[in-house]
Structure 1
Amino acid sequence: MKRVLLFISLLLVSLNLLSQETETKFWDNVRFGGGLGLGFGTSTTIAISPSAIYDFENGVSLGLGLNYLHNSRSGNSANVYGGSLISFYNIPSTNIQLSSEFEQLFVNRKINNVTDNYNYPALYLGLAYRQGWASIGIRYDVLYKNSRSIYASAISPVIRVFF
């Protein structure tokens, strides 16, 4: 965990130093976004994942995200939290966006009165159609393990909006 915090600190410092070399201000190139999910019925799901990215002039964006998900159904429950490092490359003269995202999740779940706490990494590679500040596409978790993942598949749809 200390290594992750050190890496995030170094990333933020380097982005700040890089922004000082240009005429634009650092915060002019920072965009915020994320996701919110709510589901109620036979199960309850609450998910929130804020993120921030820094846009470089060459079509590359780098950023950080936080994740939290709670799910409960029939006495079983899971709380998942973590962080992610995000990168985007917007292909010039097209609306195609390539992405990679490293996510470290910590899972606390209770199934049939058995508690399980573990963490696992995910490395997503994605392809999306981008229009303005929004993109829609798919991503694939190259580290996917069916026995540990909270997701049913290594492939998942993604919708991103950054302001």
Structure 2
Amino acid sequence: MKKIILIIALSFFYSVSFAQVEGVEVEKPKEEEPVVIEGDKESEDDEEEEKMRFIDRLFFGGNFGASFGNQTFIDVSPMVGYRITPRFSAGVGITYQYQRINDRFGNLLGKQSIYGGRVFSRYNIANDFLGVGNLFAHTEYETLFAKYSINNFNGTAEGTELFPAFFIGGGFAFPIGNRSAFTISALYNPFYDEFNSLYTSPLQIRIGGFF
């Protein structure tokens, strides 16, 4: 049955991600001016960040997309995160996706609703790493439920299945302004099971952003 489910499994998956664009605290010599390391901001920036109000530490993002035709796909997956320190952040997100596949005559072959949530954490390793972008490490635990309905010669098969997943990896964030960034990451599931997953590979390349 899971082989059949994979026919209407996720055709793509975007995960909104985030990165810190603040500087790294730099130790000051006793009788000299503050030292600034190229690619970082002065230590006062970190002190200012640590004094930020709760609302200013929050950031938002998500996946919102749709395509229609013989293969219909709708994705509504908002998220919210919190900057715990200038380098470390954590957050939660929810996912709802709807998929429907018709044949060329418009007859329904199958449909699937996917819903669930995830928790994640992100650590900013280095700003402006090798002149490419801010390098970060990422971990994430995700739990998705897939409620499917498939039409075949024997009638209609229906059911709901649970698909947990754990991802580790990292990527780069490319700042766009003071609070926003475009991100690209590579995440790997070390516990991947092709017979119990909505993904066709343990390696996932994700593109996202936050504001």
Normalised by the size of structure 2, how large is the TM-score? 0.63
1:104 is aligned to 2:143: yes
Asked whether the equivalents of residues 51 and 63 of structure 1 are also in contact (C-alpha less than 8 Å), the reply is: yes
Q: Unpaired runs of 5+ in structure 1? A: 1-21
1:72 is aligned to 2:125: no
* Superposed CA offset, 1:19-69 (max 9, x none): xxx632111111001112322233111112111111122411100000011
- Cα pair distance change 1:141/1:36, threshold 3 Å: farther
Task: Look up the match of 2:123.
Answer: 89
Task: Look up the match of 2:30.
Answer: none
RMSD between aligned alpha carbons? 1.5
Higher strand share: 1
Moved more, 78-87 or 92-101: 92-101
User: Could you tell me which amino acid in structure 1 is paired with residue 169 of structure 2?
Assistant: G
1:142 is aligned to 2:170: no
- Cα pair distance change 1:50/1:137, threshold 3 Å: same
Indicate the structure (1 or 2) with the bigger Cα radius of gyration: 2
Runs of 4+ in 1 over 4 A off after TM superposition: none
Aligned residue for 1:46, secondary structure, equals strand
For residues 144 and 48 of structure 1, the distance between their equivalents in structure 2, rounded to whole angstroms, comes to 25
Shift of 1:73: 0.5
Normalised by the size of structure 1, how large is the TM-score? 0.80
Higher helix share: 1
For residues 155 and 134 of structure 1, the distance between their equivalents in structure 2, rounded to whole angstroms, comes to 20
Aligned residue for 2:56, secondary structure, equals helix
* 1:33-52 aligned within 5 A: 33-52=61-80
Identity of aligned residues (%): 30
Higher RCO, Cα 8 Å, sep 6+:
2
Q: Unpaired runs of 5+ in structure 2? A: 1-49, 103-107, 176-180
For residues 58 and 143 of structure 1, the distance between their equivalents in structure 2, rounded to whole angstroms, comes to 31
